[in-house]
Amino acid sequence: MKIKILFLIPSLDNGGAEKCLVNMVNNLNPEKYDITVMTLYDRGENRKYLNKRISYSYVFKKYPKGFIHLYKLLSPKILYKKFVKGKFDIIVSYLEGPTTRIVSGCCDKHTKLINWIHCDIKNEKQFCKPYRNKKEMLKIYSKYYQTIFVSKATQENFINKFPSIFNNSKVIHNIVDTDEIIRLSNEKIKMKKKGLTLVSVGRLAKVKGFDRLFKIINKLIHERIECFLWIIGNGSEEKKLKKYIDENKLNNYISLLGYDENPYKYVKNADIYVCSSYSEAYSTSVTEAVVLGKPIITTLCSGMNEILDDGKSGLIVENNENALYDGLKKIIIDDNFRRGLIELSKIKSEDLSLLNQVKCIEDFFENVIK
């Protein structure tokens, strides 16, 4: 008998967690697993990448007005009964928040409930926002058989904050399809490279730190340290970032290239990958840059020490503007240092076998139902 698993996630937008879910379900053994992916809202670029053998369903075609208020009024049990149909061996809430509350309403004692946390606990109030209050949040998480964290650092932070509910937890790193990344990276780009080029992939959101990265680029240019920056992604900060580029006459140095379903071709053609984030749980884009053997500089966020072997496979700097500036300056002007990082990144990339990643996850699911 195949193991029946339902994955519930808000949408299949173009975020790292959504991409990792698609990578996971597409690569699980179809002889062993009967997989359903269900979204709250039928949207997102990643829908088209789901393998045809994966069952896909959704609750709402579009986000209904006032749903967030109604959702909190209704109990998890009612929400689950209304939205989830069928019986499953395992149900996974693949993102913290609304889906965690809904899945907790399952009353079938034969179904194992798993929740997957992709964020770090920087703001307790924000983390509790999808629940009626902190008390309800604690009650809901206590109903889960196990919690999965995407990095050791996030696991430690949550256990320290909420020791009563997260002790039964496990770390499983985000899965990346290494073969597909390498294949897609060979696609030609239309963008003409001007010189030493930095690249970063991510939503144009405050948490990604592009505001301070742009200030650093501006400072380097004024110091006559010529470099160029490609940003692949879109988001709510786009107008603000474009305004900074225009006001500081950086159009020849910074290019906002928008969302591209294949960012790997840009990463391959750039000289340095930079992550300027204020916070990450386990960066998919940094992991993908390792797969492509790029020299990497990143701010210190959760998961970076695991991805880059405590700084042995890439440059990790303190999470502030001055440290990022100093690190970027060094990696740009010191050719030998940069070449050394390339070799280290290539060595690390050999460890990221898709086969090994999938085996770890399949072993986990098989142990859950034993």
Q: From CA 42, how far away is CA 286, in angstroms rounded?
A: 28
- Name the token pair of 281: 């749980």
Q: What is the pTM of this model?
A: 0.81
Tell which residue, 325, 320, 321, 290, has the closest CA to residue 308. 290
- Name the token pair of 219: 């400072």
What's the start-to-end Cα distance of the chain, in Å?
13
Q: From CA 219, how far away is CA 189, in angstroms rounded?
A: 28
H-only helix segments in 134-208: 134-141, 152-161, 178-185
**Residue showing tokens 């159009």:** 251
Q: Residue 76: which residues within 8 A CB-CB, separation 6 or more?
A: 101, 102, 103, 104, 105, 140
Q: What does DSSP assign to residue 175?
A: P
Q: What does DSSP assign to residue 2?
A: P
**Residue showing tokens 């076998």:** 353
Q: Give the number of C-alpha atoms closer than 13 A to the C-alpha of residue 125, restricted to the C-beta side.
A: 0
pLDDT one digit per residue (tens) for the chain, 370 residues: 899 999 999 999 988 889 899 999 999 999 999 999 999 999 998 999 999 999 999 999 988 887 877 888 999 999 999 999 999 999 999 998 899 999 999 999 999 999 999 988 877 888 888 899 999 999 999 999 999 999 898 999 899 888 888 888 999 998 888 889 999 999 999 888 888 999 999 999 999 999 999 999 999 999 999 999 999 999 999 999 999 999 999 999 999 999 998 999 999 999 999 999 999 988 989 999 999 999 999 999 989 999 999 999 999 999 999 999 999 999 999 999 999 999 999 888 877 778 888 999 999 999 999 8
Distance of alpha carbon 57 from the chain centroid: 22
Distance of alpha carbon 161 from the chain centroid: 22
Q: What does DSSP assign to residue 260?
A: -
H-only helix segments in 195-334: 210-222, 238-247, 264-269, 284-291, 304-307, 321-333
Q: From CA 370, how far away is CA 348, in angstroms rounded?
A: 34
Q: What does DSSP assign to residue 18?
A: H
Longest dimension (CA), the chain: 66
Q: What does DSSP assign to residue 292?
A: T
Distance of alpha carbon 1 from the chain centroid: 32
- Name the token pair of 49: 């990448």
Distance of alpha carbon 367 from the chain centroid: 25
Distance of alpha carbon 109 from the chain centroid: 31
- 97 and 72 in contact (C-beta within 8 Å)? no
